[in-house]
């Protein structure tokens, strides 16, 4: 699991940053003072506000094992006979054209090392049997583009997956791992797993460095900052200078 500060749309050097800083000071105080005793829903909210967590496939399998009480240790992608079609188009007016594209459903599933799978497309009934026997547990379904319809194609049948039926993960093309888009009421599962990988002390350390960055931005913007912005930057500096130190001294006592 990789951790990044979620700094999207937070530019402290230009424009009116009062609204951002108001949220920042509120959430910093809540994270420093309330996080450890907060309910799971609030912890998830605070974590989501400051951090972006990127989960590896191994992390997702670990979460599945905790949730289902299973013992999977690897993953497999199984192409199925289930196919879908879609109409694609481009251009406008006389240049407008359209065509049909075909896709095969691929089941991305957790399984165990040593289990052998045939290099072929599986029918829905075969996939269902593998699930019922506990040989695989679907993580998510993917669409694989194919050149033309298969003669033995099948219609789509619903297959329950860990994503999005339990937790909705996404894997942006630019990201090195999966991100959580919606915990779907499973905040406890996610927070417990995050805390097993990153201690509160480690999260606080990351947040302290981030707060230092805001303070530095305040110094750069001091000449052009409004009185309200100056006051808010000063609040952030107070949090950096005192509240983090107080938290550290409480840990020692």
Domain boundary assignment for the chain: 2-41+199-252, 71-162
Contact 167, 63 (CB under 8 A): yes
Contact 64, 162 (CB under 8 A): yes
Angle at 137 between CA 135 and CA 138, to 5 degrees: 135
Written as six digits, the tokens of 118 are 């045939």
Cα 28 to Cα 37: distance, rounded to the nearest angstrom: 15
Residues of the chain with pLDDT under 50: 253
What's the pLDDT at 83?
96
Alpha-carbon separation of residue 55 from 1, 33, 61, 178 (angstroms):
5, 27, 10, 5
First-to-final CA distance of the chain: 31
Coil, helix or strand at residue 250: helix
User: Which of the 8 DSSP states describes residue 101?
Assistant: E
What's the pLDDT at 7?
66
What's the pLDDT at 174?
66
What's the pLDDT at 252?
56
What's the pLDDT at 10?
65
Q: To which residue do tokens 């994270």 refer?
A: 31
What's the pLDDT at 164?
80
Looking at the DSSP bridge assignments, the partners of residue 111 are: 74
Measured from the Cβ of residue 203, the count of other Cβ atoms closer than 10 Å reads 19
Cα 163 to Cα 85: distance, rounded to the nearest angstrom: 22
Alpha-carbon separation of residue 60 from 30, 42, 140, 168, 240 (angstroms):
29, 22, 11, 11, 35
**Nearest Cα residue to 153 out of 103, 188, 191:** 103
Contact 88, 122 (CB under 8 A): no
Contact 76, 109 (CB under 8 A): yes
């Amino acid at each position: 699991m990789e951790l990044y500060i979620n700094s999207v749309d937070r530019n402290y050097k230009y424009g009116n940053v009062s609204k951002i800083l108001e949220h920042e000071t509120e959430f910093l105080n809540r994270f420093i003072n309330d996080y450890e005793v907060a309910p799971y829903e609030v912890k998830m909210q605070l974590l989501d506000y400051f951090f972006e967590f990127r989960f590896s496939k191994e992390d997702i399998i670990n979460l599945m094992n905790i949730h289902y009480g299973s013992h999977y240790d690897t993953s497999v992608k199984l192409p199925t006979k289930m196919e879908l079609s879609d109409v694609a188009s481009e251009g406008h007016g006389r240049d407008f054209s359209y065509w049909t594209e075909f896709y095969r459903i691929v089941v991305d599933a957790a399984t165990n090392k040593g289990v052998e799978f045939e290099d072929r497309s599986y029918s829905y009934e075969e996939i269902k049997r593998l699930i019922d026997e506990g040989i695989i547990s679907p993580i998510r379904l993917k669409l694989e583009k194919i050149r033309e319809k298969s003669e033995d194609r099948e219609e789509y049948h619903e297959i329950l997956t860990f994503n999005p039926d339990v937790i909705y993960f996404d894997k942006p093309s630019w990201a090195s791992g999966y991100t959580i888009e919606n915990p779907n009421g499973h905040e406890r599962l996610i927070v417990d797993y995050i805390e097993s990988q990153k201690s509160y002390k480690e999260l606080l350390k990351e947040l302290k460095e981030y707060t230092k960055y805001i303070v530095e931005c305040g110094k750069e913007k001091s000449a052009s900052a409004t009185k309200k912005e100056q006051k808010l930057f000063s609040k952030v500096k107070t949090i950096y200078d005192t509240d983090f130190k107080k938290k550290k001294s409480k840990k020692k006592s």
